[in-house]
Amino acid sequence: MTAPDDIRPVTGRRQVLIVALAVLVADLVTKQVMLDWIFDPPQRIGVLPFLNFVPVWNSGISFGMLADAGWAMPALLSALAFAVAGWMLWKAPTFRRGERLGAGLIAGGAVGNALDRLRFGKVVDFIDVYVQTWHWPAFNIADAGITVGAAAWMASLFLERETDSK
């Protein structure tokens, strides 16, 4: 049984919004906990043989790129993040299921990091995954949401088939 066409736009947007809000809340809560726990005073907490919590301020984007791009970069990146999240929410009714999941994860993560940039001028990162002496760059829940969301979006493009014959 399928929903009438006049209900689908609300449902698609609602699905993206629910996922985005879940990622955003998880991101903001974990960042605040880490700010209180490992940033003041700065300390490394071993969690598992391959996982630490570490205090890292990232003034750039992925992997610290554009870290020295100037005073306007946090505002520009935040504006771009809000624009992307808004576009995904607006277009949600046209997305397939996997695309909606991806859009919600990306939007929630983008907004979480944008709020950090507006509040602090940089992003709070704290998850350190490593193998022996090799460490992946520190990241946070928002970063994980963006990465998993992009993977879900791409998987949807390859795996989901258009059910409508418009």
Q: Is 125 a catalytic residue?
A: yes
Catalytic residue among 27, 116, 125, 128: 125
Q: 66: how many CB neighbours lie within 10 A of its CB?
A: 14
Cis peptide before 41 (omega within 30 of 0): yes
- Cβ atoms 149, 100 nearer than 8 A: no
Catalytic residue among 27, 116, 128, 143: 143
- Could you identify the residue written with the tokens 């605040």? 32
If we measure between CA atoms, which residue out of 106, 53, 45 comes closest to residue 81?
106
Q: Is 68 a catalytic residue?
A: no
- Could you identify the residue written with the tokens 């610290």? 64
- Which are the catalytic amino acids? 125, 143
